[in-house]
Amino acid sequence: MSSDPRYVVAVDQGTTSTRSIVFDLQGRMVSLASRQHRHHHPQPGWSEHDPAEIWRHVQHVVPQALDDIGADASQVVALGIANQRESCLVWERRTGRPLTPVITWEDTRAGDVVQQVLDAGHGDLVVERTGAPVSTYFAGSRLRWLLDHVRGLAERAERGEVCFGTMETWLVWNLTGGADGGRHVTDVTNASRTNLLDVRGLDWDPRMLEVFGVPHAMLPHVEPTTGDFGTCTSVLPGVPVAAAMGDQQAALFGQTCFAPGQSKATFGTGAFLLVNAGSEVPPSGHGLVPTVAYVLPGEAPVYALEGSVAAAGSLVQWCRDALRLVPTAPRIETLARTAPDNGGCYVVPAFSGLYAPRWDAHARGVIVGLTAYVDRGHLARGVLEATAWQTAEVVEAVASALGHGLDALRVDGGMTTNHLLMQTVADVLDVPVERPLFAETVSVGAAYAAGLGVGAWGDLDALSRLWRRAARWEPAMPDAVRRRERAQWSRAVERAQHWVELPEGPDQLLLSAPEPPPVPEDRP
Ligand SMILES: Nc1ncnc2c1ncn2[C@@H]1O[C@H](COP(=O)(O)OP(=O)(O)O)[C@@H](O)[C@H]1O
Ligand SMILES: O=P(O)(O)OC[C@H](O)CO
C-alpha cells in the first residue's frame, strides 16, 4: 500500500456558506475551509444568491482545505457534492453565463404560479406523481416564474439554448469544463425536490413538465446519487465527481441512517427531519413529503419521509442582522440563558410561510404575548423555542405516519452547537437527542457516498461502524409544562396563519441583477 495519503473531498454548498471538508480513507475529517456568500432580499419574500460568487467560493475553499494539510489534487480519489436543495438558476449553454440569480428555496415570488396550478385542479396530481405538494419551496414553480418573467427565456429554453439547474448541477457543470464540455446533470435526490420528477420512475415526468410548462430541452440528465458525474477539469483536475446529493439526504447518509425507521434532524438555515422509509415510496400525508433518500447504482432506490421547517437558524440570523439583538449567532444562547423562561413571548418565524406539517403559504411571522415584562433574554428564549416547537410538530406528524414515536433523534447542523437549544428540543419532543462526533454530517454523507462510488470504502455496514456519539441530551421537562407550552405554541401559530394574500407576479423582468453576473473567472 502506498504511504502517500489519499483523501476524499466533500463540498457542502449550503444556504449560508460553502464548505469544503477533506476526509482521509479512515473516514476522519482532516481539514475544513468555509466561506459565507451574500444573501439578497431585493423585495419582500424574495431570496437570491449570486451563482458566480458561489462558484468562486468553491474555487477558493477546495484548494484551501487541501493546502492547509499540504495536500493537492493528485492525492484526492473522489469528490462528493452536497447542496442546498430546490435553489435553482438558469444559464446560457454556449457561454455558461448565468441568466438569472440563484432563486433560493426560501423565495416565495412564485406564489401566483402555485395558485394557478392549484386553480387548474392539478394539486392532487402533483402530489401523486412527485410526492410533494405544489409549493414555492420546490423548484418547478420558481422555474416557471423565471420562464414567464425573464424576457426571451421561454423561447430560448424551447430551443435548448439554456440550462436549468439546482446547485449541484451548476457546480458539476463548472467543475467538469463549463461551456467547454461541462456535464449538464442532476442527481436524483435533488431532482426529487422540483415538483417535476416522477418519484417512482425517477426521471422527469412529462405530465408535470406540461403542468408547469417546462421545456424538457433545458433540463439536466438525472443520475443516481453515486456514479459518474464527470471528471474535474478545474479546481481538482483529474478527480472524478463520484457523488452528488441534496444536503438533507447527505445528512441522513452521513448519520448512517441506512435502516428503515432511522431518522435525523439537521438544524441549519431551516430544520429538516428525514426518516428512512425503505425502498417503497411512503404514502404522502400528515403534512410530510416522500422524497428520494439515495440511489446507489444497481440497487433499489431508498426513500425518506421528510418534514421540512422553513425557518430555524435563519430566525437567529435575522435577530443578528436585522434586529441586531446579538452580535453573532452563537450569542443567542448566552442571551437566552439570562432569562429563566420565555416570559410569555412566542415567536413564529413564518418568513416564507409555514412548511411541514401545516403548509400554509399565506402565513407570515409573528411575535405574540408581549408585555412590558418581556426583555431581550425572554425574546431569545422564544427564538430558540420556535425551532424546538416546529420540530415537535414534525415529530408528531412522523409518529402519526409511522404509527409510533421516535426512540431517539440524531441531530446535526450549525445550530447543534447550541446546548440550550438541544436541551429544549429533547424537552419538547420528550425524546433523547444525540449528536455525532462529526457534526458536519452533510459533508460526511457526501464524502461517504463519493468514497463508495470509487470503492474507497467497503459498504454501508462499514460506514455505519464509523458513527460515534459525541453528546446526548435527555428530556427533563415535566409533562404538564410541555402540554401547557404546546398549547400556547399552537395558539401563536394560529395567529401567524392565513396572513397574506399572495401577490401577483410583476409583468416584466424584475430580477434584482439587471446585468447578468460576470462569467466565472477561470473561463476564457
Ligand atoms: N450556536 C448557534 N445557535 C443558534 N443558531 C446558530 C448557532 N450557530 C449557527 N446558528 C445558525 O445556524 C445556521 C448555520 O448553520 P449551517 O448548518 O451552517 O447552515 P446551512 O447549511 O443552512 O448553510 C445559521 O442560520 C445560524 O444563524
Ligand atoms: O442549506 P441548508 O442546510 O439550509 O439546507 C437547505 C435545504 O436543503 C432546503 O431544502
Please report which ligand is nearest the Cα atom of 37.
1
Atom of ligand 2 nearest to the CA of 308: 10
From 19, 34, 87, 105, mutation site for ligand 2 pocket: most ligand atoms within 8 A of C-beta: 105
Atom of ligand 2 nearest to the CA of 247: 8
- Neighbouring-strand partners of residue 272: 266, 308
The β-bridge relationship of strands 76-83 and 7-13 is parallel
**322's grid cell:** 436585522
CA distance 454 to 126: 36
The β-bridge relationship of strands 263-267 and 271-278 is antiparallel
Domains held by the chain: number: 1
CA distance 277 to 259: 8
pLDDT at 505 over 50: no
297 part of a folded domain: no
Residue 145: which of 115, 183, 176 has the closest Cα? 115
Q: Please report, for the domain that includes residue 55, its CATH number.
A: 3.30.420.40
Say if ligand 1 is within 6 A of residue 386 CB: no
129 part of a folded domain: yes
Say if ligand 1 is within 6 A of residue 415 CB: yes
Q: What contacts 493, CB < 8 A, 6 or more positions away?
A: 348, 354, 358, 363
322 in Cβ contact with 315 (< 8 Å)? no
371 in Cβ contact with 419 (< 8 Å)? no
**Exposed (0-12), middle (13-18) or buried (19+): which is 362, by Cβ within 10 Å?**
middle
pLDDT at 415 over 80: yes
Please report which ligand is nearest the Cα atom of 291.
2
The β-bridge relationship of strands 48-49 and 469-473 is unpaired
User: Ligand 2 centroid vs 176 CA: distance in angstroms?
Assistant: 24
Please report which ligand is nearest the Cα atom of 87.
2
pLDDT in tens, 309-344: 999 999 999 999 999 999 999 999 999 999 999 999
Name the residue at shortest CA distance from atom 1 of ligand 1: 330
Name the residue at shortest CA distance from atom 24 of ligand 1: 313
The whole-number pLDDT of residue 506 equals 43
pLDDT at 439 over 90: no
CA distance 444 to 250: 8
**Helix, strand, coil proportions of the chain in percent (round to 5)?**
35, 25, 45
ipTM field: 0.97
The dihedrals phi and psi of 146, each to the nearest 5 degrees, come to -65, -40
Atom of ligand 2 nearest to the CA of 14: 1
Name the residue at shortest CA distance from atom 10 of ligand 1: 415
13 in Cβ contact with 171 (< 8 Å)? yes
Atom of ligand 1 nearest to the CA of 384: 4
pLDDT in tens, 366-381: 999 999 999 999 999 9
The whole-number pLDDT of residue 230 equals 96
Ligand 2 binding pocket (C-beta < 6 A) is 14-15, 84-86, 105, 246-248, 268-270, 308
The whole-number pLDDT of residue 1 equals 42
pLDDT at 142 over 80: yes
DSSP letters for 381-416: HHHHHHHHHHHHHHHHHHHHHHTS--S-EEEESGGG
353 in Cβ contact with 360 (< 8 Å)? yes
Say if ligand 1 is within 6 A of residue 16 CB: yes
Average pLDDT over residues 445-471: 91
Residue 383: which of 349, 360, 434 has the closest Cα? 349
User: Ligand 1 centroid vs 334 CA: distance in angstroms?
Assistant: 15
454 part of a folded domain: no
CA distance 346 to 378: 9
Out of 186-200, 207-221, 399-413, least confident range? 399-413
333 part of a folded domain: no
**Exposed (0-12), middle (13-18) or buried (19+): which is 232, by Cβ within 10 Å?**
buried
User: Ligand 2 centroid vs 247 CA: distance in angstroms?
Assistant: 6
pLDDT at 81 over 80: yes
Say if ligand 1 is within 6 A of residue 17 CB: yes
84 part of a folded domain: yes
User: Ligand 2 centroid vs 315 CA: distance in angstroms?
Assistant: 14
Name the residue at shortest CA distance from atom 9 of ligand 2: 85
392 part of a folded domain: no
The whole-number pLDDT of residue 516 equals 38
User: Ligand 2 centroid vs 371 CA: distance in angstroms?
Assistant: 35
178 part of a folded domain: yes
User: Ligand 1 centroid vs 445 CA: distance in angstroms?
Assistant: 18
CA distances from 352 to 155, 177, 277, 337, 348 (A): 30, 35, 27, 28, 11
Average pLDDT over residues 418-433: 96
**48's grid cell:** 437570491
49 part of a folded domain: yes
Atom of ligand 2 nearest to the CA of 16: 1
The domain of 100 spans 7-248
